[in-house]
Structure formats: structure tokens, C-alpha cells
Chain A
Amino acid sequence: MLDNRVDQPILWTHALTKQVNTGDTQLTILQDIDLQVNAGEAVAIIGASGSGKSTLLGLLAGLDLPTAGKVHLDAIDIFTLDEDSRAALRGKVLGFVFQSFQLLPALTAIENVMLPLELSQQNKDAETIARRLLERVGLAKRLDHYPKQLSGGEQQRVAIARAFATDPKLLLADEPTGNLDSATGIQIIDLMFELNREHGTTLVLVTHDEALSQRCSRQIRLADGKLVQ
């Protein structure tokens, strides 16, 4: 769809480091991470539990602050921005799919999808866009259902529809099948990759699942907070 994005780095990091204080000692969660993700790529970040995958994802999205290093997102050095500007950048550039879905319980499926559009004040066609996306993910008949009335797989479909609502340049997915059975997981991943292609979105997928990572064009492996390849 938007092939001109290809080979442009939409995301790159330099010497990204995250340390936390645990009482007397300092624990290094990530150390000197240098990576680059080009537009249109699908990159998997893989590693065992505790390898620092989720921390890296949080830093890439500007949800957390690094101890040292830089993250450039859509050619902007995000840690030179304040928190609100980072949030605005996220709203414009990023889409998220979380392991625990993170749907707002008080909002129906369609309202959950409309939310990022409403927050970015693009509410003009919010409902139409949300409806179309939900239809696309196969939930045309579940528009007015609350998250608690949906199965795990359905909730994740809503989350995927929400992630694509603002037509983001980069989709960050954190263990998107982690809370789903394997059959549903496969369906969800298929759906995510389809939408990714349709929207020409760049994908960064965090997973511990080797098989899943193989569906991406490139794999980046994390072990003990360091890139191993």
C-alpha cells in the first residue's frame, strides 16, 4: 500500500541501556542495544522470560525512560521530548497489541476501537472506521458487546482493530498470543499479519515463541539484556 516506506528506518536505537536499583545493587535489564527497523519490515524480538523483551518494547514506545541511549521513532529522538509530546507521537505513529488485550471494560467493542481516534480528535469518521475494522476482524455482530462478554480471541481481535484504527506507521505487539490457546493464537497472528500487509504497517513483535518469530522477516534475539545476533 505504502511501498515508499520500505528501507527507510522508522525506528532505530543507539546504546539503549536500562538499569534499575534493587536495594543495594543495580540491575542491568538492557545493555547497549543498537537496532534498526526499516519501514515495511516485520521484526520479531525473541528471548526467554526475563531477557528484557518487554522492557525494550516499553522503551521503543517511549512508555519508559532509559538509563542511557537513544530511540529515534519516525526520525524523532523521542527522549528529547517530554512525556506529553511522546504520547502525542505515539497517538500519531504507533499502534499497540498487548498480551492482556487491555480493553477498557466499560467500553463496548466498537467504543474501544473508536477510543484512539477520539483521543486524537479525529472523531469525524471514528464510528465508520471502527465499524469497518471490526467487520474486517470478523466481529461485525459483536460491536456492542463489552469485553467481559467476549472470548479471549475476540478480545484480542478488538485490540488488533483498535491498533489499526489510527492507521499507524509502526505496530508494536507484546506476546499477542500469550493469553490464547494455540489454535486461536494462530488465527490472531494470521489476522495481524494480514492487516499489517493491508495497511503497509511496520511490525515489531515481541515473543518467546520461536515458530511465531519465524513468520517475521527478521529476528532479533535478546539474552540477559543484550542483543545476541
Chain B
Amino acid sequence: MSHFKLSFRMLCRDWRAGELNVLVLALIIAVSGMTTVGFFAERVELALTRESNQLLGADLLVISSQPLPEIYAEEASRLGLTISSLTKFPSMISDGENNLLTEIKAVTEGYPLRGRIHLASRSSMSRTKQPEITIANTIPQPGTIWVDEKVMARLDLKANDMVDVGAAQLTVAELVVREPDHSVGFINMGARAMINASDLSETDLIQEGSRVSYQLLVAGEVKMVQQFRDWIKPLLTKAQRVEGIRDARPEIKAALERAEKFLSLAALASVVLAAAAIALAVRRFTQRHLDGCAVMRSLGASQRQLFYLYWHYFITLGVIASTIACLIGFAAQQILASWLIGIVDTALPWPSWLPALQGLLVGLVLLVGFALPPVLNLRSVPALRVLRRDIGLSNAHSLAGYLLGLVTLSLLFIWKAQDLKLGLYIVTGFVSAIVIFGCLGWLLIKVLSGLRHQAGGAWRYGLASIHRRAISSILQAVALGLGLMSLLVLTLIQNDLIDDWHASLPPDAPNHFLVNIQADEVQSLQEFFQQYEIEPPPMYPMVKGRLIKINGKNISPKNYGDDPHAERHIRREFNLTWASELSSDNQIVQGAWWNADTHEAELSIEEGIAKTIRVKLGDELTYDIAGSHFTAKITSVRKVDWDTFRANFFVVVPPGQLDNYPASFVTSFYVPPAEIAMVHELVRTFPSILVVDVAVVINQVQQMIQQVSQAVEFVFLFTLLAGFAVLYAAIAATQDERIYEAAIFRALGARREQLSRAWAAEFAILGGLAGLFASAGASALAYVISKHVLHFDYTFNPWIWVVGTLAGVIGVLVAGLLGTRSALSSPPLLTLRKIG
């Protein structure tokens, strides 16, 4: 009979005889848990990206200062993507008397491809009352213009008024309350209006040399969008660039990337749990199959034959069980998804098959990784065991057996993490944890067993049992500890991640910026705030300067011809500011902040811009400020948390350095929506100050973060549930010996109550050890991951020790007692015969 056929036959026989129950249960729970998390995390990730793309109006933008070649749109259509285009430029809008510099956006049919335009209903086109919001289902009709509240207010317009836009006369048709691509940045914060692209030629505004941004909007399936991006990249000229949400919105990028890392962390945690359960279940399997192998060897099976027999056996088992698990995982995530949709009101995109494939592979690889070494051992079971039952496998063999499993697991981690750094941190963390837990476990068991003579009845028996099965107890404590540790790490990080997001954008995050405040207005502006009983916000001075020299060498945009992003920065003016103290959302990463009384010409630069314009600590930068030159040396490089929505600057110098240059001031503050009248009053009192309302953007980001947090919490809770199920399966995998012993004890007259107390003591000690290991490991790993991978401050939480240890004790106790319950209620002889 071929190996495969025989192994399949043996598999069927073992299955029928109930030999595979625990292994299959562990495998199915573990893989389906992991697949559910995988599917669900992918759907959430896709949904988050799609949601965030609404802030861009598309999945991808191709932006150029020159008209875009037709071939771009053609290729996008060929790939099945939907397209639209817009042309954006600054122009004056006039109502005949007043002019207002406005950003005009000429759009074509289909705009926006993602997100919606929110309009104030015509009846409420007035600034005095809260408007009723409707969703636009079209774009402005030819001959009409949609304007935002700034245009309405400053030109004092109402519905059906006529305005001049260049040579065209257009009718004011709608008031735009919110549009998708309303981005943050001083350049984009002025008044905005939207017209139909067919009116563009009539305006006669687009001339040679006009400052125009031509944009092609693209949306569709993630894969096709990526394909389009890959296709277009080599064709882009210097004037063209491609932007996805992550290029355009750094604050969204940071939130998304952290969420993604967390989701992959959750997926990794599920892999650890799966590994713990499978490792323990395989151990049980091999122990139960020692005799069978010895018999087969005595009946003439060669080592090679036994190896192939079990090799095919586990591959077949792995494929079947993992496939079933993947199907269960798919069904489970579907249930989860329909539940989540009810909560966050977001459609979840359909996932790819990748999580299923990953689940299948991980199940198979884990099974083979942990099963193969014991199988290699099984084939070398001394055939003499048929005559001498005391001959088995040495523990050294069993321990070495886990090595291949661990190596496989490490490779899986790095693959699953999809991030080498995260993967390596976790692998190092877990491998160190295994070594430390193992050694600690050995020591603790030694110490505890020394105490057993002082302990009472049940405890003495529990300690004695643990000591007698020292290696097995250590393995169990380490495996359970690792599983629990991955859940605790997830708990700690999830809490901190969500707190950090909420803290970065508290409900009172500044929602208005004031730009272009003149020095002589600062005093009266502060008094204005006091009138409204608002603490005057700090005013940041701002001096505009163009970078002209680096280390005395002249530079021009041409020097950065290979990097359009850098080129744009050199072409534009930088906003320089001064400050004596480092603001709280800034962090020095290189060099040192200056003394308050410094008179040196020094400056501090933001790390991203330093990299873009290729300067480093110690370089000397020269700016042209209103015709004069200002030179200073970089003495520090800062990291700026851009997602706080506070005024921040690329370049900061010490106070006094820029006193001789013309400065304006900028500030930001929070106004509750109900008190918006104060802003209108401010506009009237200080007509030259530009008021930028970022409430809409803040709102979008806050909503986004809310959704990300909910998604993260949801995935976390599910992983937690799956985790406990897996730990239960792991405990069930270690019950045989206890059940057998119990039968002997009962045969010798032990009462059920005595036995269950003794077991409870043993499980409590084991759970306590696992919980203690898990708490220690989780605190250390969460610290490392928070600091080096997710980049936020980790807060040490002493409660984790209490929670971890208690979870270990209670979890193992409950699972253990449930697992041994049947042995207590069935007659001892039955148990003895079942096992013997």
C-alpha cells in the first residue's frame, strides 16, 4: 500500500477513534480565529482606506501644472477605473462692487469619485441660522457657481445672485458646506468656489503662465488603482505628481498606519495563540502514539516508512482542518462584519482571498513545524518499547522538537507582520520570552516544590504534581504564558493607541486659524478674545523667507530637479518663526534646543523638510527675507506631530534673531459651533486678518479616528475571545496524564472533592505562573512596540500584573476543571481502560 493511502487510512481510523479530537479542535479554533481576524482586519483596512479616500475625493490623484495628456485618462478607463477631472486656480470673484480672491475649482461629471458634496439647502442659504444639509447628486450646472460660506459672507451673496468669474457671469446656485478634498494647508484655506468645467473657457482665466493645477481623479478596485499607479509613475514629468490619501494627508496617514500595524499585531497575536495550542496538542498526539510507533517498528515498519506515513498524515490533516477552519473563519467574519456595519454605519468592502490562503498556510506550516520534529522522534521510538514500556523518547528530543516549530513561527511572524521591523521585534520578544520563561519556570518550580511540605493537602498534591511533571509543566506554563502575553500586549497597546489618538485631537482641538495678524493688531486681538471670555491663544510670529544658500553655496529649484516635492519647497517661501521654548508637540531628535538667552544665529529644522532639502545638523542656511539675507546654523532637528492641528513651523529660530524683519502673526483657537457668531464679529473687526475655518477638516479627522478606534476595539475584542477559546483547547491537550492519575487515585479511595481541590490547586499554580510570565513579557514587549514601532508614549500600567496573573489563574483553572470534569464523574475503571 502506498504511504499516502496508508497514512490517509490511518488518519481516518484515528479520526473515527476520537484520537484527533483535541488536535483538530486546537487547529480549527486557532486557524479559524486567525483567519477571522485576518479577513476582518483586511476589510476594516480597506474600509478605512476607502473612507479616508473620501477626504481626497478619489483613490488617486494625478496632479500637474500643465494640462494632463489624454493617455492617462485612457489608460485608467482601460483598467476599468472611474475617472473625473478638475482644474483648480486662484481668481477674483466679483459681485460688481467687491472682489474676493477665491480658489476656483472647475469640475467634470462624476466629481467627486469618493465622498460627497454637502450643500446647505437653498431655503437656508443664510448665515443667520443653522443650515439644513443636503447631499449633492450632481455637479454645478453650466452657467452656475457653487460657493462656500466665506464667499457668501464676504461678498454678501444670496441665492441666484450673479457673480463675475473672469469674463464669465455665473449664477450663485448652491452653498457648499463640506466638500471631500478640503485639505489643510495655508495655501488652501481661502475662499472656495466650484464651477462646471464647460464654463472654464468662457471665463478666459486660463492663460499661458497662469497658476493652475490640473487634476485627474481616479477610483476603483485597490489592485487596479495600484496597477495604474505603477503604470503612470515612470511616465510622470517633473510638473506632474501622483497623490494617494497618504501623500496628501499626513494626519490621516499616521492614524491609518498605526491602525494597520495594530491590526497586523492582532493577526500576529492570533498566530501565537494558534502556535501555543498546536504545539501542546501535537505533544499530546505524539505521546499517545509512542506505543503505536514502537509496535509498527516491531512489525517491520522502517524509519523511512514511518516518517512518510506521518508526513502525509499531517499534511492531509493540516489541509483538511485548515480548510474547514478557513471556511468557519470566513463565516465568522461575515457575522462580525454585519454587526460592525450596524455600529459604525460603514459598508465594509469584500475581502480578498489572501487571509484564507494565509490561514491555510499558517495552519499547515504550524502543524508541520511543530509536528514534524516529534514525528522525526516517533520514527526513532525504540522498538524495544514493545517489551519495555519505560523506554520512551528523551526530553532533550522533545525540546529540540520545538526548535523547528519556533523557527517556522518566526518566519511566519515576519511574513504576517508585513513589516520587517515589527516582525523582528516580535520574534525577538517572543524568543527571549520563551528562554526567560523557561528558566524562570524551572527555578520557580524548584522553589515551589521545596515549599510543598509546608503547604496544605490540596496544595501539596498540586505542587507535587507540577514538580513531578516539571518539563511538561514548564512547557505548558510557557505556551499558555505566551498566548496570554500576546493578548495582554494587545490590550495594553490598544488602550494606549486609542488614548493617544483621542489626546492628539481632543474635542477642543483648535478649529480656527488666524493668519496675517499684523504686529500692531496683536494687542487689540487679545483684548477681543478677553471680551468673549476666551483665553487669548498664543500668537506665533511668522516671517516669510526664501531659502537661497546652503553652507554659503547658492541654490535654486534646479538643484532639486530630480525631486518635484523638494523643488516646490525651494520655489516657495518658508514660514520662519521664533520661540524660546520648544512646543509640546515638538521633539528634538538631533542636536539641542537653545538657551533662552542665546544670541547665536541658530535655527531648528523639522526632520522631514531637512531630509527633503538635504540638509543636516551643522549646515548653514541663508534665507532671503524681503531683500535682506538672514543666515543661521542648524543646531537642532525636530520631529513635529502634525496631526495636532496646532500652528507648527518647519524652521524656528531663537527670539530676537528676526526682529529686524517684517513679521506677521498666526494663531489657532477653538470656538464651539454654537458660538460661531464670535468669528463673524472677528472678521468684521479685523478685516485684514484671514480667518481659516478648519472645523470641517477637524471633524472629518475626528470621525475617521472614531471609526479607526472602533474598528481596532472590535478586532481586539474578537481576538480576545478567540484567544480564550484557543487557550481552552491548549489546556484540553494536556489533560490525559491528570485524568489517568485521577482514576488511580479514585481507585485508591480518593473522594471527588479531594481530587477536584488538588486539581484546582495544580491549575491555579500553573495559571499563576503563566499569568505572571505573560504580565512581565507583555509589559516589556508593549513598551518596545509602542516606542519603536507605533511611535507613541507607553504608559506603564501596574494593573496589568494583577489582571494578567488573575486571568492566568482563572482562565487555566476554569478550562482545566472543565476539561477534567468528565473524569470525575465517570467510573475510574472506565477511565483507566479508555487511556490504557
Interface residues of A (CB under 8 A from B): 54, 57-58, 61, 63-64, 83-85, 87-92, 94, 96, 98, 100, 102-108, 111, 115-116, 118-121, 123, 146, 148, 162, 166, 174
Contacts of B382 in A (CB 8 A): 63-64
- When chains A and B are docked, how far (Å) is the Cα of A94 from the Cα of B303? 18
Task: Give chain B interface residues in 3-52, CB to chain A under 8 Å.
Answer: 6, 9, 13-14, 16-17, 19
Contacts of A119 in B (CB 8 A): 6, 296, 299-301, 305
- When chains A and B are docked, how far (Å) is the Cα of A4 from the Cα of B266? 73
Contacts of A115 in B (CB 8 A): 295-296, 299
Contact between chains at A90 and B300 (CB < 8 Å): yes
Interface residues of B: mostly helix, strand, loop or mixed? helix
Interface residues of B (CB under 8 A from A): 1, 6, 9, 13-14, 16-17, 19, 291-292, 294-305, 382-384, 386-389, 833-834, 836
Nearest to A57 among chain B residues (CB) is B387
* Contact residue among A54, A104, A116 (Cβ-Cβ distance under 8 Å from B292): A104
Nearest to A95 among chain B residues (CB) is B299
| Besides A96-B299, A104-B292, 18 other A-B contacts (C-beta < 8 A) | A58-B387, A61-B298, A61-B383, A63-B387, A64-B384, A88-B302, A96-B298, A96-B386, A98-B386, A102-B294, A102-B295, A104-B291, A104-B295, A106-B13, A119-B300, A121-B1, A162-B299, A166-B300
Contacts of A108 in B (CB 8 A): 13
* Contact residue among B298, B305, B833 (Cβ-Cβ distance under 8 Å from A90): B298
Q: Which of A58, A111, A120 has the most CB of B within 10 A?
A: A58
Contact between chains at A87 and B383 (CB < 8 Å): yes
Contact between chains at A118 and B6 (CB < 8 Å): yes
Contact between chains at A63 and B296 (CB < 8 Å): no
Contacts of B389 in A (CB 8 A): 100
- When chains A and B are docked, how far (Å) is the Cα of A85 from the Cα of B297? 11
Contact between chains at B300 and A107 (CB < 8 Å): no
If the complex has contacts A98-B386, A146-B17, are A63 and B298 also in contact, measured as CB distance less than 8 A? Answer: yes
Contact between chains at B9 and A118 (CB < 8 Å): yes
* Contact residue among A87, A92, A120, A174 (Cβ-Cβ distance under 8 Å from B297): A87
Contacts of A58 in B (CB 8 A): 384, 387-388
Smallest CB separation, A176 vs chain B (Å) = 12
If the complex has contacts A54-B387, A90-B298, A111-B13, are A118 and B303 also in contact, measured as CB distance less than 8 A? Answer: no
Q: Which of A88, A105, A108 has the most CB of B within 10 A?
A: A105
* Contact residue among A87, A98, A166 (Cβ-Cβ distance under 8 Å from B303): A87
Contacts of B1 in A (CB 8 A): 118, 121, 123
Contacts of B16 in A (CB 8 A): 106
Contact between chains at B14 and A84 (CB < 8 Å): no
- When chains A and B are docked, how far (Å) is the Cα of A106 from the Cα of B14? 5
- When chains A and B are docked, how far (Å) is the Cα of A27 from the Cα of B712? 66
Nearest to A103 among chain B residues (CB) is B295
* Contact residue among B13, B291, B305, B833 (Cβ-Cβ distance under 8 Å from A148): B833
Contacts of B302 in A (CB 8 A): 83-85, 87-88
Contact between chains at B298 and A88 (CB < 8 Å): no
Contacts of A84 in B (CB 8 A): 302-304
- When chains A and B are docked, how far (Å) is the Cα of A111 from the Cα of B294? 17
Contact between chains at A87 and B387 (CB < 8 Å): no
Smallest CB separation, A22 vs chain B (Å) = 14
Q: List 15 A-B contacts (CB under 8 A).
A: A58-B387, A63-B384, A64-B384, A84-B303, A85-B302, A89-B300, A98-B386, A104-B292, A106-B13, A106-B14, A107-B13, A108-B13, A115-B299, A148-B834, A174-B387
